[in-house]
Structures are given as C-alpha cells and as structure tokens.
Structure 1
Amino acid sequence: MNDSTFVYVTYIRTTPEELWAALTSPEFTKQYWFGVEARSEWKPGSSWQLVFPDGRIADTGEIVEADAPRRLVIKWRNEFKPEMKAEGWSRCTMALERADGAVKLTITHSIEREGSKFIEAVSGGWPRILSNLKSLLETGTLAFAAA
C-alpha cells in the first residue's frame, strides 16, 4: 500500500531545549498554533490532544517516542472532520538537530493511505504553524494572526 507523506524543514535561531519547550508547552502552543493547545505528559504511552479554544477536541493520539530535546513521535488522528477521522491514524515525527547556532526542525507527517485528505490538510497547516513558531521564538511576534 502506498502512503501519503508531508515533510517540512525549517531552521530556527534557538536552542534544542527552548524549541522542545515551545513544542510541548500548552501555554506556548496556544500562542503560535492559532489558539489550539497541545496537551500531554510527553512520555511514551501517554495520551496527546490538540484542543480548540472553545474546548472541543481537534486531534487525539498517543506519544510513541519522546527523547527530549531531540525527537518526538506522535500517533495522531483528526477528530473534528469525519472524512479525515475515517482515514485513521497518522504518524508525526519531529526531529530537532543543532545546526550552526540554530536548530533544524524536521516535521514528517505520514499516513498509510494514498491521496490522504488529512495529509493534504496538514501540508497547508504545518507551514503556517511553524512560521509562527519560528517568528515567535526569534522575534517575539507571530507571522500570522489568529484567524
């Protein structure tokens, strides 16, 4: 079976520790993820959720791997769009590597389904979210205001 995969690489002037904290802090994720809060204990086997500002669950999953501040792997499923939820579980890997005074962040999001609507959606979302994250960490301001 073919799969659908989205890969995004960016370089952020920060430390791996600061980037890890930004990726795993609910208060910080709300700032750059358009009000959505990431919740988890960030340990393998722990549950994971993205929660809309109104309390609805956007996405759910489980932490597969958490090697702070180097690698985070999440088993991930969309919960608020029935056609995407029906596609099942995806896998999102966040790899952090030191790179000449910055951190190389590689997001690889994939699902075992050809032509995935979910991967199509995240391929539009991740660049905006990560641009906000990069801008917030480097300048203290967002690239995109909340919708």
Structure 2
Amino acid sequence: MEKLTLNTELKFKAPAAKVWQGLTDPEMVKAYFFGTQLDSSWKVGEPITFSGEWDGKKYEDHGKILEIDPGKFVKYSYWSSMAGTDDKPENYANISYELSENNGETTLHITQDNIKNQEAKEHSEQNWKGVFEGLRKMIE
C-alpha cells in the first residue's frame, strides 16, 4: 500500500525570523494552535510533544527532532494519539518546515509523509492551512 506525501506552501508578509518564532515559540503556538502545548528543545534526537485537549479528550502527540537548521528548516517524526493507530514506528509521519525569505515575504514549505489516502491528505492540507492562518493573523 503506497503512502502519500503532502507538500504545501504558505506565504507570510513577515520576515523568516518571525515565522520561525511562530513555529517554535510555545506561547505563540498555544495562542493560534487551539491551546496546544508545544514542548521541544529543538535539538536533533530530542523529543517534540504537542499536548492539550480537543473536544474534551486529552491528547499527547509526539516525535523526535530529526534535522534542524535553526531559523530555516526543521524535520521531525510525528505520531498522533488522535489517529487511532498504535504508537509504532510505521505509524509515524515525517514533517518538515522549510522557510525561505524574499523581499520581506516568507514562504513556509510544509512536507508530511506516510499519509494513508487522498482523503487524509486533503484533510491534512486543510488542517495546516487552518492552523497557520491563525499564525498569519498574529505576525503580519
């Protein structure tokens, strides 16, 4: 069964440093990401967790930082406790954020692999756009 990979781009009328801060600063993330508590040291091999409550259900999604070039690029593994899958390596996705800045406008390129079908891919893309729309309102 072939898994799908999502590639999506979002543009922000803000410098890359500000977008990076919005991706990595727990206070900012909590403000636009429905109260999600982000926890990571942003070092390779270290954990990254996203926890909180959604529809009255507690969740803790987690993974590991795989690569990082602070301010420009990060790639992490990710398992969602909401996905209804076991916490096993084959159920983790790799997610990366890559930033490029041009004339004060920053492009955020998001990649997510190990997506099970087209429907899930479209759902993920809508989610990313919805979440980061909140970030856009904060930083632009």
Provide TM-score, normalisation by structure 2: 0.85
Partner of 2:111: 108
1:26-41 paired onto structure 2 within 5 Å: 26-41=26-41
Alignment of 1:45 with 2:48, yes or no, is no
Tell me the matched-pair count.
Answer: 137
Percent identity at matched positions?
Answer: 22
Deviation above 3 Å: which 4+ runs of structure 1? 53-58, 83-87, 116-121
Q: Output aligned runs, 1:116-135, within 5 Å.
A: 119-135=121-137
Q: Which runs of 5+ in 2 are unaligned?
A: none
Deviations 1:17-61 (A, max 9, x none): 121111111111011111112110011101011111589333110
What is the identity, as a one-letter code, of the residue corresponding to 2:139? L
The 1:116–1:99 alpha-carbon spacing in structure 2 relative to 1, beyond 3 Å, is: same
Structural RMSD (CA): 2.4
Unpaired runs of 5+ in structure 1?
139-147
Contact 1:109 1:119 in 2 (8 A): no
| Residues 84, 118 of structure 1: 8 Å contact kept | no
Paired position in structure 2 for 1:141: none
- Specify the code of the residue in structure 1 equivalent to 2:9: V
Kindly indicate which of the two structures has a greater share of residues assigned to strand.
2
Report the TM-score when normalising by structure 1: 0.81
